[in-house]
Structures are given as C-alpha cells and as structure tokens.
C-alpha cells in the first residue's frame, strides 16, 4: 500500500480543501476565487531530472484578478516521521523556486504517525546564519478527531481515522462519521467509491468492529452497501461493453484491414445494442461502410 499515492490522489482531487486543511496558516487568503493547479510530475521530472522527488505534490495557487503573485505550495506526506528529511524538502523547495522564478513557496509536511522531527534547518558559521528554513507541519495523529467530526471540509472528514482518539472504542464512531462526511460532501459516485476505500484503509476495523458498525449505524451501512453494489455492477457492465467493442474492432480489422480512427471512436462510444447490431452485419457486409450504414426508413 502506497500512503504517498493515497495522499497525492487526495490532494489532486481536492486541492482547495487540501490547502485549507493541511496548510491552514496560509489558507486565509486562498479563497474560492483562486485557481489551484496541480503541477504534473512529468513536467517536473523533465525539468529537474535526477533532482525530481516523487513524494512531493506541488500546487500552484493563482489569483486571476492579479491581487497577489502566484503562490507555490509543496505538500509532502511522511508516514514514518523518523525518515523525514528536512534537507530534502528544503532542497526541493529551492529547486522549485528557481524553476518557477518565484520566492513565494510554502513547504507543508503531512505526518501520518507521531514522532520526533526537526522543526527548522539553519545553515551558518560562527557569526551569521546564512539560511533558515521552516515548514508548516500537519501532524494528523496529534489532531483531536472530535474537533473535525462535523467539518464541511471533505479532506478533514476523510482523515478522521488518522487523527487522535483517546480510546479504541471510538474507532467505530470515527469510521462512521468519516463515511457520513464522504456521502454528504461528495456527489460523484466514482469518488465516493474511491474514498470509501481510503477510509477503510486508515480505519482498519477488525471484524468485530465492522459488525459493531453495522449494528450501530444500520442506515449508513445500508446506504454504503447499496451504493457499492450499484457501482460495481455498473463497472462490470462497462467492462463487458468495452470487451464487445474490442471484439467488433477485431472482426472489422480481420475482414476489411486497418480500421479508420473515426470508425474506432464510433465503436468505442457505442451502446451495447449498436455493438450487437454491427457485429451481426460484419459477416455479410461487403465494405466497412455497409456495417454502419443506416437502413432506409420504413415505407
């Protein structure tokens, strides 16, 4: 399991809420009018070469009305606090500052587990300090979950299982409120399914706790089970449809040679009824146009 990728997906899917939650000290001026653009890994790898660091997720915050110069936020998730390198983060921020020709760079470290970590990096000699580097720290395991239980920030709600709760008996309630937040705040079915898995991973309920959840939260359980079943059935149907389209393309290619891109796009976008109708025509058609020709209207 890649915690780095889990959090990278979360930040990219919800950049505005991620900034507001993980970088609260800088979020006061990041209102709904800004544009937040995740910087593509491929772009950084090409420009920075071997200095590219996969774990970081940079976000470019722009004010379209020109009120402020663009701000670059660098968010890095660190699962094991002891492996956090402030030197690496400082190096990466300097790289990005040079690459984007800006001094407005905000480093943010997201810590999944508790532990000791350096708070600043100071380079200097006997008389002067020549470089002082600090970063914003979001230590999830230090945040009381009760403070965020009813938050309307979906990033906060999804991370309830990663926050501090004083007794293991609270874990089921934490799990339930995280899923409730997902259902309330995310209308997109695919993202609901995706982040239900996120909550499952970090809640890590035992079988007994899952049974307790089903007893104590029957309505939520029914909602999530119904939703999950429907999404998986829809996914299965989409898979069948993709397979039927691929088979039709193979039949067309075997009989008529290379399939034009326009025809390929038409097949891949077709509904199951059209795919079946066209497949039946392939055997008797004399040209690829015959397969897709509309029949004359009935007299």
Separation between Cα atoms, residue 38 and residue 59, nearest integer Å = 5
What pairing do the DSSP bridges indicate for beta strands 105-111 and 136-139? parallel
The confidence score (pLDDT) of residue 216 equals 87
For the ranges 68-82, 83-97, 150-164, 205-219, the one whose mean pLDDT is highest:
150-164
pLDDT exceeds cutoff 90 at 107: yes
pLDDT exceeds cutoff 60 at 129: yes
Contact 114, 139 (CB under 8 A): yes
Distance of alpha carbon 16 from the chain centroid: 12
Confidence of residue 22 (pLDDT cuts 50, 70, 90): very high
In degrees, rounded to 5, the angle at the alpha carbon of residue 15 between the alpha carbons of residues 10 and 21 is 85
Nearest CA-CA partner of 139 in 176, 157, 164: 164
pLDDT exceeds cutoff 90 at 108: yes
pLDDT exceeds cutoff 70 at 20: yes
H/E run at residue 179: helix 171-185
| Token representation of residue 203 | 């809640």
Residue 121: what are its φ and ψ, rounded to 5°?
-120, 125
Confidence of residue 63 (pLDDT cuts 50, 70, 90): confident
| Token representation of residue 79 | 């699962």
For the segment 90-117, the average pLDDT, to the nearest whole number, is 90
pLDDT exceeds cutoff 90 at 194: no
Separation between Cα atoms, residue 220 and residue 216, nearest integer Å = 9
Name the 3-class secondary structure at 19: helix
Across 125-218, the runs of DSSP E, i.e. the strands, are 129-134, 136-139
For the ranges 40-44, 134-138, 168-172, the one whose mean pLDDT is highest:
134-138
pTM of the model: 0.72
The confidence score (pLDDT) of residue 100 equals 86
Contact 134, 117 (CB under 8 A): no
The confidence score (pLDDT) of residue 166 equals 86
The 10s digit of each residue's pLDDT in 221-237 is 777 766 556 555 555 55
Separation between Cα atoms, residue 268 and residue 265, nearest integer Å = 5
Separation between Cα atoms, residue 93 and residue 276, nearest integer Å = 55
The DSSP output letter for 73 is E
The confidence score (pLDDT) of residue 148 equals 96
Would you say the C-alpha torsion 236, 242, 248, 250 has a positive or negative sign?
negative
Would you say the C-alpha torsion 109, 167, 197, 234 has a positive or negative sign?
negative
């Amino acid at each position: 399991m890649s915690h780095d990728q889990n959090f990278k997906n979360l930040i990219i899917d919800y950049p505005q809420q991620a900034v507001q939650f993980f970088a609260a000290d800088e979020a006061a001026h990041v209102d709904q009018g800004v544009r937040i653009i995740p910087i593509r890994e491929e772009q950084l790898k090409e420009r920075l070469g071997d200095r590219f660091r996969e774990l970081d997720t940079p976000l470019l915050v722009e004010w379209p009305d020109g009120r402020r110069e663009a701000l670059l936020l660098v968010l890095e998730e660190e699962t094991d606090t002891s492996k956090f390198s402030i030197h690496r983060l400082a190096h990466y921020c300097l790289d990005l500052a040079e690459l984007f020709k800006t001094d407005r760079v905000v480093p943010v470290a997201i810590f999944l587990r508790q532990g000791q970590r350096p708070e600043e990096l100071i380079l200097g000699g006997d008389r002067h300090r020549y470089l002082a580097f600090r970063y914003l720290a979001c230590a999830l395991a230090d945040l009381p979950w009760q403070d965020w239980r009813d938050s309307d920030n979906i990033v906060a709600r999804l991370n309830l299982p990663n926050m501090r709760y004083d007794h293991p008996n609270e874990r089921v309630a934490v799990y339930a409120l995280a899923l409730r937040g997902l259902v309330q705040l995310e209308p997109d079915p695919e993202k609901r399914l995706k982040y239900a898995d996120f909550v499952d991973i970090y809640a890590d309920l035992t079988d007994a706790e899952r049974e307790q959840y089903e007893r104590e939260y029957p309505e939520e359980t029914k909602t999530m089970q119904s939703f999950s079943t429907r999404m998986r059935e829809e996914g299965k149907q989409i898979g069948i449809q993709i397979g039927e389209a691929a088979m039709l393309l193979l039949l067309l290619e075997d009989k008529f040679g290379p399939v034009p891109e326009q025809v390929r796009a038409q097949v891949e976008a077709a509904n199951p009824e059209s795919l079946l109708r066209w497949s039946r025509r392939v055997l008797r058609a004399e040209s690829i146009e015959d397969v897709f020709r509309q029949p004359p209207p009935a007299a």
